[in-house]
Amino acid sequence: MARMISPELAAQLREAGLVWHPVSGDRFQINLPDLDVDVFTVSDMTIEAHHYPTGSVLGFNGTTEWALDSVALEDALWLPREDQLREMLRTTFRALRRTDESFEVEIDLRGETRVFDHPEPAEAYGRALLALISLSR
């Protein structure tokens, strides 16, 4: 299973301006009491993204989530996977290295080499993306 970032880092990325366009395979949590600990997956079979002029919702199909018909996108917290984070770094990404205690993600921010480390590679990628988004604001 592909690693995803922590909800805390996901919230920081959202607050920094990261926009989610749900696709099949994306994982998310719902910002509602008693649901914020479960991780859901967008799937054409069970949870589909529906886009309307008034906003996007995640629709729950069938009986998989019997008490939930849909949730507004702003009530969902996207938990990007490692590969998605790496892709969003685009041309700034230089390297992923394993050290004795962590993973290091190296990026180039306007000619300056920056390194972000964490025991989980997805978190290192997420921290690098947060720096990139913050710089572009």
Q: Are 43 and 24 in contact (CB under 8 A)?
A: yes
Indicate the pTM of the whole model: 0.82
List, for residues 64-96, the tens digit of each pLDDT value: 544 556 778 888 999 999 999 999 999 999 999
- Residue 46: the pLDDT is 67
Task: Output the pLDDT for position 65.
Answer: 47
Is residue 36 helix, strand or coil?
A: coil
CA distances for 59 relative to 27, 56, 71, 83, angstroms: 14, 10, 7, 25
pLDDT tens digits for 6-52?
Answer: 999 999 999 999 999 988 889 999 887 777 788 888 876 667 787 88
User: Quick one: tokens of 86?
Assistant: 């790496």
